[in-house]
Structure 1
Amino acid sequence: MAVRVLFVTLPWKTHLFNFVPLAWALQTAGHEVHVAAEPDLTGAVTGAGLTAVPVGSGETMGERVRRAWREGTLPTPEEAPPPGHPVELYDLGPDRQRLSWQELNRIHDTLVVPRAWLSNDTMFDDLVAYCRSWRPDLVIWNAVTFAGSVAAAAVGAAHARFLFSVDLYSRLRDDQLTVMARQPPQDRRDGLKDWFAPWAAKYGVEFSEELVNGHFSIDQMPASFRLDFPHRTVSMRHVPYNGPAVIPAWLAEPPRAPRVLMTFGVSVRSWPELQVVPVERLRESLDSLADLDVEVVVTLPDDVRASLGRVPANVRVVDFVPLHAVLPTCSAVVHHGGAGSFNGSLLSGVPQLLVSTALDAPFKDHHLRAAGAGLAITPDRFSGPLIRENVVRMLEDPAFRAGAETLRREIMSYPAPNALVPELERLTAEHRA
């Protein structure tokens, strides 16, 4: 029997792209599929061949964040806590060290809760109203788009989190609840619940951890990257979608030398603040690779390309190239740690060098190294000599390719989106009220 499935995406194009192959699979299996997104993403949804449901304000996420910076309701990147906490704090095992109560509150107050209200507050009313009208059977929501779980609960729909990275939000939530239970009752402050519970109550839904975790989660990460939680998880093979794509003529030819891709995400096109590497250091890194027998491909927006100026003869600078097409031709990739670049590199079995300050970067670094599949540096250490050293190391040591290939085989063992549909149908019937 056909069911109605509503996807709820973070107002960010790359997060929408993570959903698209599963949405196609459900749609071609005969189910009704709609995608709820802020108006800014309507064109991207319909461009992917899916039905869009605009919810929320016309203000883009970028505009909203910059306004919050001006008003002082959101810490600027300079004011926020450094995201690169020691990876052992996130490591697996019941005896791991947990963050202190003060540190957990600081992270929730400056990162977790602000991201929650920035991503959800404007869409709650529209999303619940639409669910009450359309009555979906299953709501699949981005891991931090909690409005999706509230809307689902308001109409008795099954609902699932769709993870875009390692599940650090659940790890932080688990630590928050565990450490909070050790505090005196008068000190047990819960910033996430304080934000979440009034929104749920507005639509007749009682706050519970099920709203935070979903009935189940859909995870594309290798099992070795996952955190040990009792929540139900179903695995899905990552299938890349990069938006409208055209294969350039040069990509149809085999590379003349080992190809190294350097890409720092599409988000910097509208968010210059997200550029992790200054142009001067990027130019220095390209110069450091000039005498190597490699073919370097760099993706950069036009304005950054213009400021880059001269590039070495073995460097090709392009505005955009589909990752799913170029990654299989690469011998190494240097990137910012975004979901598309990271998961695409894993899927293609390519050794990768992360250059990131994202909250999940230390965890990815730890497990890439454990698998022998890659390396990482922080952007403040980005320099020509260090990039050269790491690239040469990944190219010359066959253990990196072997480690990346092991992870690729693990991912390929998971069901593709089409094969996952029957399990989603079963879970929908199990959890739908």
Structure 2
Amino acid sequence: MVPLAWALQSAGHEVRVASEPGFVGSITEAGLTAVPVGPDESMEERLHRIRGESAPKVSAAIPPFLTDSLFDMGEAVREGLPWEEVSWLLGTVLVPGMWIVNDEMVEDLVTFCRFWKPDLVLCDVIAHAGAVAADAVGAAHARMVCWNDLFLRIRRDFLRAQQRQPAGERLDPVREWYAGWARKYGRDFSEEVVAGQFAVNVLPERWRLEPHERTLSMRYVPYNGRSVVPSWLCEAPRRPRVLMTFGISKAPWIDPLGMSIEQVQETLDSVADLDIELVLTLPDEERDQLRRVPENTRIVDFVPMNVLLHSCSAVIHHGGAGGFNGAMVHGIPQLIIEGSVDAIAKRTVLRETGAGLSLTLDEFTGPCVREYVTRLLEEEAFREGAERLRQEALDQPTPGEFVSELERITAEYRSRRSGR
């Protein structure tokens, strides 16, 4: 979102970035204007306040019985999915997160939007409060998709399955949530508010999981926050450089889906004699738990990927959007240790483009990582596949080139709302 915000500001538009207060520093560091909304507490604190001190961590796990079809690419016909399964997924996995993340942001956000009167509200795919506020003040609104729009897919699955249910058995918790806020602000419920009027997607067209009926394409531009180039990056690597990173999967309020420290150690031991420079991002407290660090390994607490990736020959990551998209636009072969929710879909992309390999956590062993990394470095087909994927990504308009299209479609929806 940051490169697009910069592009809009550079074109003369006013931009405000609304978020929980704890994220304000990240916004202002990006040179953007922040609007704090909601309570000044962390997600972990909010979970404990709402659910009690014994609250479980947020889990990104999708039950095995749903994963077979949930991540199929494209707009395949998805008729006939069992009501019990899709209603469970919507009501148990998605809706609780909706109200925990959004409920306490809505009123502050609507108050600000009534004062500031935005023409367009761009919403992260989990920022449902933005859609409510946009509808309340008559702004155009769109979903910003940095990878797979799982919510939109599950929502469409739900609505199809709902039509097969008896009239009295069509409970819809998403509609209830949106309709409650719509009534508060004098609006009627509309499915358009739930799905967005259009979407902005940074993925190449053929790799979009569930495209919105009206999807605008924009190139992914990496942004990693405040960045400093370390001195060791100021010269070309003497050996192939491999990055291993697991990003947000290490956040304390999320059930960890990435490697355990024991698996990290096993990986380091297994690649210790390879002629590579392994750069591992690991917090200091976890580094201290390692028993040994091989000579070919450099451990850093953080290094901005946008200054590191151009010098890498391969990337090992958990399937997060930053790791995948960053490697994609740099044309680097990838090994995904499947830890993110939608890593299954990314596995499909790597397989069909030849841009990399993947392992589930159940398949993981240190020797297997060694084998796959060796293949990524030695087999030319992976570099060729990564370059093909890169070209698909670069064929999309940059944020600067995209602004005029965003201006046009915003004017269209604003005119529709005003009746002009």
TM-score, normalising length from structure 2?
A: 0.93
Do the aligned partners of residues 208 and 224 (structure 1) sit closer, same or farther apart at CA in structure 2, a change above 3 Å counting?
A: same
Return the match for 2:307 from 325, 329, 337. 325
Shift in Å, 1:251: 1.1
Aligned-pair identity in percent equals 51
Return the match for 1:426 from 404, 408, 411. 408
Letter of the 1:114 counterpart? P
Verify the 8 A CA contact 1:89 1:96 in the aligned structure 2.
no
SS of residue matched to 1:376: strand
Equivalent in the alignment of 2:268: 286
Letter of the 1:341 counterpart? G
Equivalent in the alignment of 2:374: 392
User: Which structure 1 segments of 5+ residues have no match?
Assistant: 1-18
In the alignment, does 2:197 pair up with 1:215?
yes
2: CA distance, partners of 1:195 / 1:275? 29
Verify the 8 A CA contact 1:299 1:321 in the aligned structure 2.
yes
In the alignment, does 2:324 pair up with 1:339?
no
In the alignment, does 2:72 pair up with 1:108?
no
Return the match for 2:388 from 381, 406, 410. 406
Verify the 8 A CA contact 2:73 2:210 in the aligned structure 1.
no
Q: How far does the alpha carbon of each residue in 1:54-92 deviate from its partner, in whole angstroms, 9 at most, with x for none?
A: 100112112223455647787764997459712576333
In the alignment, does 2:25 pair up with 1:62?
no
Q: How many residues matched?
A: 415
2: CA distance, partners of 1:133 / 1:267? 37
Moved more, 388-397 or 218-227: 388-397
Return the match for 2:239 from 257, 261, 281. 257
Moved more, 293-302 or 198-207: 198-207
Do the aligned partners of residues 112 and 361 (structure 1) sit closer, same or farther apart at CA in structure 2, a change above 3 Å counting?
A: same
SS of residue matched to 2:336: strand
2: CA distance, partners of 1:152 / 1:272? 30
Shift in Å, 1:130: 0.5
Letter of the 1:215 counterpart? Q
Letter of the 1:314 counterpart? N
2: CA distance, partners of 1:303 / 1:292? 26
Q: How far does the alpha carbon of each residue in 1:199-258 deviate from its partner, in whole angstroms, 9 at most, with x for none?
A: 222112222111112111110011121135452111111111100111111111111111
Letter of the 1:427 counterpart? I
Within a 5 Å distance, the mapping from 1:265-276 to structure 2 comes to 265-266=247-248, 268=250, 271=253, 273-274=255-256, 276=258
2: CA distance, partners of 1:94 / 1:161? 21
Equivalent in the alignment of 1:224: 206
1: CA distance, partners of 2:134 / 2:183? 14
1: CA distance, partners of 2:31 / 2:212? 36
Verify the 8 A CA contact 1:89 1:97 in the aligned structure 2.
no
Verify the 8 A CA contact 1:69 1:75 in the aligned structure 2.
no
Shift in Å, 1:95: 3.7
2: CA distance, partners of 1:80 / 1:110? 11
Return the match for 1:382 from 341, 349, 364. 364
Letter of the 1:285 counterpart? T
Equivalent in the alignment of 2:347: 365
Equivalent in the alignment of 2:103: 121
Do the aligned partners of residues 165 and 57 (structure 1) sit closer, same or farther apart at CA in structure 2, a change above 3 Å counting?
A: same
Do the aligned partners of residues 254 and 144 (structure 1) sit closer, same or farther apart at CA in structure 2, a change above 3 Å counting?
A: same
SS of residue matched to 1:32: coil
Equivalent in the alignment of 1:9: none
Equivalent in the alignment of 1:43: 25
1: CA distance, partners of 2:48 / 2:132? 27
Do the aligned partners of residues 56 and 357 (structure 1) sit closer, same or farther apart at CA in structure 2, a change above 3 Å counting?
A: same
1: CA distance, partners of 2:28 / 2:86? 40
Shift in Å, 1:97: 6.6
Moved more, 394-403 or 224-233: 224-233
SS of residue matched to 2:44: helix
Q: How far does the alpha carbon of each residue in 1:10-60 deviate from its partner, in whole angstroms, 9 at most, with x for none?
A: xxxxxxxxx111111101111111111111011111111111111001121
Letter of the 1:121 counterpart? D
Letter of the 1:50 counterpart? L
1: CA distance, partners of 2:379 / 2:94? 39
Equivalent in the alignment of 1:164: 146
Letter of the 1:308 counterpart? L
2: CA distance, partners of 1:75 / 1:274? 9
2: CA distance, partners of 1:431 / 1:408? 33
2: CA distance, partners of 1:404 / 1:67? 45
Moved more, 222-231 or 334-343: 222-231
Equivalent in the alignment of 1:10: none
Verify the 8 A CA contact 1:332 1:394 in the aligned structure 2.
yes
Moved more, 277-286 or 110-119: 110-119
Verify the 8 A CA contact 2:37 2:108 in the aligned structure 1.
yes
2: CA distance, partners of 1:89 / 1:320? 31
SS of residue matched to 2:368: helix
Letter of the 1:359 counterpart? V
Two-structure CA RMSD over aligned residues (Å): 2.2
Moved more, 300-309 or 356-365: 356-365
Equivalent in the alignment of 2:330: 348
1: CA distance, partners of 2:79 / 2:338? 24
Equivalent in the alignment of 2:286: 304
Do the aligned partners of residues 415 and 305 (structure 1) sit closer, same or farther apart at CA in structure 2, a change above 3 Å counting?
A: same
Verify the 8 A CA contact 2:178 2:194 in the aligned structure 1.
no
Within a 5 Å distance, the mapping from 1:109-258 to structure 2 comes to 109-227=91-209, 229=211, 231-258=213-240
1: CA distance, partners of 2:56 / 2:164? 29
Q: How far does the alpha carbon of each residue in 1:92-138 deviate from its partner, in whole angstroms, 9 at most, with x for none?
A: 35445764211111211221111211221110000001101111111
Within a 5 Å distance, the mapping from 1:85-100 to structure 2 comes to 85-87=67-69, 90-96=72-78, 99-100=81-82
